[in-house]
Chain A
């Protein structure tokens, strides 16, 4: 077992172990889960530390490859192929950290623990496996492996009276999205003529012989909307706030933080590079749909009375920046999009984790009922304030770097969308985030919350971890961007090679008077 496969096989093995533990050994079950996710997190961090930006063939490192199923009669060839480049590296590390944090906050679960922790571990393994796989079959398989536990967890351990409807809705939506994406992937397999599910081989095949235009313009929208539904692209977003509102804390953290990024990752890994001409027609539309996420869902978030619905809507709004960055198709924008993917994973996990802790303590998330909590629960309160500020793009947190890069990158391509997105980022976001702080934490102390206790030392661990990650990447963004940039550049080279190569896209910068300026001042 190599380092990379250990990261996601460890949780899956732990799931098997948990299955064998008698159900009243709750402490042991929890310990195994925590241990497995912690070990997986350490391995992921080791992977991150070992990864260097030196160029390699195909761009992937830590490659692991085995033949698996090969039926020549059916022209079927499915192989086990893992690898990381700058794009999924951050996602894997983020996913592993979030998974550990999610295991930490799972203390709120008080019934059917054995089943719960099994599903949690399966979900974790699935998510990380999906990001590590370079074969479309396993890529998709691991995603489904993570998706199905999501539904069950919301249905069984969820909160609120809307739980059943939410489960029903999220299941229908996400299954539909996954199905459409599957149709797209199968069509891609058939059309490429390379008889392989291997992403690297597919990429090489397409490089040698681009897909026919007609096929591209049919398959790309399938992937765009299939993946789009999974990422709550407007107007297919209504499952998200409802589903996250009802989900158990850990599920919301893992899904909103990590699993949701699968669609974006797929779009970036498969959709854009393999079907540049198909994408060209849709990116402009995608940019306008982003506004639905950023502005419209931001406005909806302003009207929410329930904290979880507010966070859910804001999480949908943040997806807009990633889509916008991808749509801009230039190095600054797409790199920014990947940074936001990682940053938002930490942030979503942090906010849902905090709201879960608040619900556990107060029994409600209705903001009108809360108030003046900062005095009683200074740690949780301060963490909420920091999370909210990170959410409205405060420098110092990783989200700012990513969002700023997206806006810088997309301006020349979609100036109007960028202007409105800036409004959404700076003002609408700040309005609902600060309103939440004002309602929940500020204001006179209320007698009913006088006896509230702050989080215990152990309960602080996940939040400190997530905040530290956000701060570290916010202060030192090159940790990520230096690794992301070469991989994004490779994708962009493919994406900007069109069958009918038209006018150069805005990615190429006008350097009219630029050259002289660049050298005008060299740092001393």
Chain B
């Protein structure tokens, strides 16, 4: 089964393995010059980017698979396999492109840190894991890299592990992700048990075959028996194929919930900013959170099986996340925290799009978002660097003149995030709103428009407070532009932030993902106005929300010296600031459930099993021994007496028991 590799196969393998090689070399070879580690990491991803560009433009659109036999036991066959199709090619470009900029930027941002080597090793490991998810051709491999992404994020969020907050945030991120992974692996096991494979292509043809045989559940009814065993019943609602298909879909979705930080597993993402800022950029833009949405697009055919209701649930989870996160962002004062909540909110959009049977727009938004969110985070890093690690926007102000390059790029990123025409974010967000309209899902459409307004509001607040007005602190007044190694990546990222919307990326995605009205690439200028022709309602409301949000923010925050929003909305502001008490709620819940269980188990172990039973047995044995010792007196008379008594007893038993009287 060892394949012969085509040039594209070699390219894909190289893209995947180079960052791993960089990480291993950085860890194993003690090299006195840390800069060389950085250069190796950057080189690895740069080559990856060039090769990805080559694949994107020159490789054929036909899906290509490479399989190495990794594990084959019984009917569990797992290959170390790569899948190259338009979806993974686009994602490769996003991960390596945005990742490259972040790598270069990190070289300046982390300059002089004593763990420079460890930083770049982890960064390369992170890139490798993410590329693995992108290229995986089966669920098992995806899970392997899924976990590796989790652990790389653990290493990077906890990069400054001496800080208690960073160490806690790293642990929290890993554990929250694990909750999602619990569902994901169960979903994978169930899928394998039902369809007999973990390979995407084979699964897809199995589902298709099921559809053709009018076996709607595509083999999922196999699961009825074990599930009946779990619940000790075989009621119709348990064994109905629709229920099984939905269940599997939701379990798989749990993985995305963890990685893409969807409600209710969203709590780790805001804390994850405890890592260095470029790491936040990487987690929020190109890797990690994107993995969840990408996975949903990859397995969309499993969620979309007729009879499955998983997508409806997914859409609402996405919508709720988008709304909650946008509300939480309203009252944050930490520049990175605002951006973190905006990521949550945008991820909510993407997940909602998947739920609305529109994986294409979800991928589209993922792509544009990767560019402008990386830009925004790196811009924020530049601001923080300039203000000597001050992160509170109310202690900034007036940075517009001090750091022009950061200011302009940050403004572009903000406009894209808000969804202002002609920036990239407008097009992808519009596609999602249009999908909501097409599916006649008015509540989610209204929610989407409202969240767009909120987004503009809090982002305008951020820009107006941090960049405009007067400097509100010593640090801000002395701020000056960051070095070129940090600002040039901003400029580079600003290009796709402006252009990616109308370049026909959506049409490219449509080659891999099904959609009812596949978008066409009709040239840049036509694309620029396509949203208005396609669905004027969605585009119009989207822009209206932007304008309304900006006007509100302007009224409140131009030249403001404090936040006047709490006076207007009262208790909602406090709740938003305190993140609606989810962390407290979870802490309480975990302490009353799992911790209590652990306490009980520990108590039982100590006092019942080890104490009462084992020591009890030991005690009884000892008591018995002591009793026997009483008999062994050493006195001959006693022995003689016992001997005689024994003889009498045995005789009596023999004679009476066996007497033939019966």
Contacts and interface: CB of A to CB of B under 8 A. Distances in A.
A404 B201 CA distance: 22
A442 B199 CA distance: 39
A419 B186 CA distance: 7
Interface string A354-383: 000000000000000000101100000000
A217 interface: no
Contacts of B144: 395-396, 400
A423 interface: yes
Contacts of B179: 427
Contact of A509 (B186, B196, B202): B196
A404 B193 CA distance: 14
B171 interface: yes
A73 B79 CA distance: 58
- Of listed A296, A372, A401, A418, residue having the most chain B CB within 10 A: A296
Interface stretch (B162-170, B343-351, B483-491): B162-170
A445 B162 contact: yes
B206 interface: yes
B65 A524 contact: yes
A521 B202 CA distance: 6
A31 B161 CA distance: 40
Contacts of A511: 196
A438 B163 CA distance: 11
Contacts of B361: none
A460 interface: no
A326 B60 CA distance: 47
- Of listed A435, A437, A521, residue having the most chain B CB within 10 A: A521
Interface residues of A, number: 71
A427 B182 contact: yes
B256 to A, nearest CB: 16
A375 B162 contact: yes
B171 A299 contact: no
Contacts of A478: 69-72
B601 A411 contact: no
A208 interface: no
Contacts of A156: none
B115 to A, nearest CB: 9
Main secondary structure of the interface of B (DSSP, over half): helix
Contacts of B74: 330-332, 335, 409, 485, 509
Given A395-B148, A427-B178, A517-B209, A416 B230 contact: yes
Interface string B138-167: 001001110110010010001001111001
A76 interface: no
B168 A523 contact: no
Interface of A: 169, 172, 235, 238, 242, 296-297, 299-300, 302-304, 330-332, 335-336, 372, 374-375, 389, 394-396, 400-401, 404-405, 407-409, 411-412, 415-416, 418-419, 422-423, 426-428, 430-431, 434-435, 437-438, 441-445, 477-478, 481-482, 485, 509-514, 516-518, 520-521, 523-524
7 contacts: A172-B618, A235-B609, A302-B595, A405-B73, A411-B189, A412-B193, A415-B229
Q: Top 8 A-B pairs ranked by shortest CB distance?
A: A331-B74, A442-B167, A523-B67, A415-B226, A303-B602, A299-B601, A395-B144, A238-B610
Given A395-B143, A415-B227, A524-B3, 7 more contacts: A303-B601, A405-B76, A426-B182, A431-B175, A434-B171, A442-B164, A518-B197
Interface of B: 1, 3, 64-67, 69-76, 79, 81, 140, 143-145, 147-148, 151, 154, 158, 161-164, 167-168, 170-171, 174-175, 178-179, 181-182, 185-186, 189-190, 192-193, 195-197, 199, 201-202, 205-206, 209-210, 213, 215, 218-219, 222, 226-227, 229-230, 594-595, 597-602, 605, 609-610, 613-614, 618
